[in-house]
């Protein structure tokens, strides 16, 4: 304390300058987000669908197009909520998914048993893939090496809790109509890159 107090006395102008700088920086940051207009939906070279607009009519799946769901499975607690949406999107139920590939990325017996139940419920459409070793950040590419050319793959994480009825048809239709697009992303809530856009559009608030 004997050192700190003399320092505070001798450098009081410096302290005031530091506090003022921090205050101005914070004020500018808040003012920028408060007054800066929202990002325009018309982005050069990019088509962005309105956040609240629904398609005027249902999309029709093109003939000869094979669509495969690609799920990185790891947790029953998450997939049990998502499962009904996958079933609604199967071609048997009027959807676009011809099949769903389940990548078993867990060693938990309870979770694996639930995956077996899913596969058994529709063995024609559901297929299980077991990697040699559990996949992680730097080994996910091994799962993509198992895919077949000529199909359209919709990659789905196991913690997705809701899928709009038109989400998968719109994703695939965009890719079919624009083969030059390497990847087409869904409008995912609570996704780091898209979270910023949702905030700027005013669709979501922290």
Share of the chain above pLDDT 70, in %: 72
* Residue 5 DSSP class: H
* In the chain, domain spans: 67-201
pLDDT value of residue 27: 52
DSSP 4: H
The pLDDT tens digits of the residues spanning 35-47 come to 444 433 343 444 4
Computed over every residue of the chain, the mean pLDDT equals 81
pLDDT in tens, 136-167: 888 888 888 888 999 999 999 999 999 999 99
Question: How is 27-65 classified by DSSP, letter by letter?
Answer: HHHHHHHHHSPPPPS-BTTB----SSPPPSS---PPTT-
Residue 7 has pLDDT above 90, yes or no: no
Distance CA 142, CA 6 (A): 62
At 171, is the pLDDT very low, low, confident or very high (cuts 50, 70, 90)?
very high
pLDDT tens digit string along 99-136? Answer: 999 999 999 999 999 999 999 999 999 999 998 888 88
| Position 188 pLDDT exceeds 70 | yes
Q: What is the CATH number of domain 67-201?
A: 3.90.550.10
The string over 10-42, giving b where at least 16 C-beta atoms fall within 10 Å of a residue's C-beta and e elsewhere, is: eeeeeeeeeeeeeeeeeeeeeeeeeeeeeeeee
Mind listing the pLDDT tens digit for each residue in 14-41? 666 665 665 555 555 444 444 444 433 3
Q: pLDDT value at position 30? A: 47
Helix then strand then coil, in percent of the chain rounded to 5, is 40, 15, 45
Q: Which of 41, 54, 26, 32 is nearest to 198 (CA)?
A: 41
């Amino acid at each position: 304390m004997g050192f700190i107090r003399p320092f505070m006395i001798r450098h009081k102008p410096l302290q005031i300058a530091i506090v003022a700088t921090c205050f101005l920086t914070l004020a500018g940051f808040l003012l920028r987000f408060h007054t800066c207009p929202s990002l325009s939906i018309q982005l050069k070279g990019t088509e962005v669908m309105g956040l609240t607009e629904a398609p005027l009519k249902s999309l029709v799946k093109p003939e000869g197009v094979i669509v495969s769901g690609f799920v990185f499975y790891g947790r029953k607690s998450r997939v049990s909520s998502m499962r009904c949406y996958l079933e609604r999107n199967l071609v048997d139920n009027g959807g676009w998914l011809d099949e769903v590939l389940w990548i078993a990325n867990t060693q938990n017996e309870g979770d694996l048993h639930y995956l077996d139940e899913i596969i058994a419920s529709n063995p024609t459409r559901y297929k299980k893939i077991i990697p040699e070793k559990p996949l992680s950040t730097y080994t996910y590419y091994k799962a993509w090496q198992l895919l077949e050319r000529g199909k359209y793959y919709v990659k789905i994480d196991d913690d997705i809790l809701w899928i709009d009825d038109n989400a998968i048809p719109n994703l695939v239709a965009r890719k079919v109509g624009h083969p030059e697009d390497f990847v087409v992303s869904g409008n995912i809530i609570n996704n780091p890159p898209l979270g910023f856009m949702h905030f700027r559009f005013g669709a979501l608030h922290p």
